[in-house]
Structure 1
């Protein structure tokens, strides 16, 4: 199999995650790309935005088939998602509530509201979540906690993963030796998502602290009045 490397004039030889994924594909072919994506689901710091375009580049060089790259990476996504589904299933509602009781600023009622939301919108969350950085892996856990029907989970996960993987594999295929540019643009999207998550957490903390402060003030007023 030929060397899956960055263009020498633009980038150094791939190292780190890119080098690791390159070695897997050189050794195992398309199944190596699938294995890399499965591990990416289990360990979100491994970026699919590197692995998938690299698989597309390998296909453009004739090292693996384009259809094989898409099929194997999608299978890897599903395998990783199912593993996390069972993590959620083992965690269960009772343990989730127990953990919530130990977390500062978090209440069991928050878990109940999240559970109610997932019951109403779980299908959309699993499908679209497969196309959002960070949430791609994590969405499988609440699906397991809520014991979403496995056939439904598999269908939604497969369809969402197929769309996400196809976009990135095709991008790597079309860009050829410039496949690494995909990560630059997708990185902007990921930063937007991370920024949104941080803003959401900040809003939750401020809102919860303000409510707690208001309750304390009201309780103090009642004591003084008494």
Structure 2
């Protein structure tokens, strides 16, 4: 399993990494930790260079977040609520999570875009209130890129550091990757099945 994943990433090359990292910030079940960790192993093997991988992965992350930022710029909060009520189930995106990100953004300002890159849930959602607030594009790109660069760098170095262990315990590592992915999928399915629109919560309170 480990070698299959590494071979797929190697064949996809840097373009594949860019697209995967962009998609990871739009569609929840794609785990950046697995992508970057495996890519770090390829760096250790000399099949990719750290600097190119780091830049491409960070660019992909920024591109994915620009999608949400653009929606925030284009749509009103009322429109966003309607969209989240209709499609939030499949994105495992709840309205109260948006409100939390919005309130944090309003309280702390632009810098929170950088800090929330290290939050597993809010790091993408904060792009919406940033767009709604008409945050300057260059500042959004800068803070997103800085936070993403640090996080991606940590993941790449982590994959590179354990590459020897992966080569030595390939079967065990493969089971670990499968388990990690299955846990992520299970969490996604659980959130899809238990997701309720805001109206449902409001009715429960009545």
TM-score (norm 2): 0.68
Shift of 1:35: 1.9
- Number of matched pairs: 182
Residue 50 (1) aligns with residue 45 (2) = no
2:161 alignment counterpart: 174
Residue 139 (1) aligns with residue 148 (2) = no
Q: Per-residue CA shift, 1:57-111, capped at 9, x if unaligned?
A: 1110100101111111111111111112112222323324667999xxxxxxx98
Q: Which has the higher contact order (CA 8 A, sep 6+)?
A: 2
After alignment, is 116-125 or 143-152 more displaced? 116-125
Shift of 1:26: 1.8
RMSD value, Cα: 4.0
Residue 36 (1) aligns with residue 32 (2) = no
TM-score (norm 1): 0.62
2:110 alignment counterpart: 123
Gaps of 5+ in 2: 87-96, 168-172, 189-201
After alignment, is 71-80 or 92-101 more displaced? 92-101
What pairs with 1:1-150 in structure 2 (closer than 5 Å)?
A: 6=2, 13-14=3-4, 18=5, 22-28=7-13, 30-96=14-80, 115=102, 117-150=104-137
Tell me, in whole angstroms, the C-alpha distance in 1 between the residues paired with 2:64 and 2:84. Answer: 26
Flag the 1:170–1:183 CA change in 2: closer, same or farther, 3 A: farther
- Structure of greater Rg: 1
2:198 alignment counterpart: none
Deviation beyond 4 Å, 4+ runs, structure 1? 97-102, 110-117, 179-184, 208-212
Flag the 1:136–1:115 CA change in 2: closer, same or farther, 3 A: closer
Tell me, in whole angstroms, the C-alpha distance in 2 between the residues paired with 1:115 and 1:123. Answer: 11
Q: Per-residue CA shift, 1:108-137, capped at 9, x if unaligned?
A: xx9889745422324243112211213232
Q: Is the 8 A contact 2:9 2:17 kept in 1?
A: yes
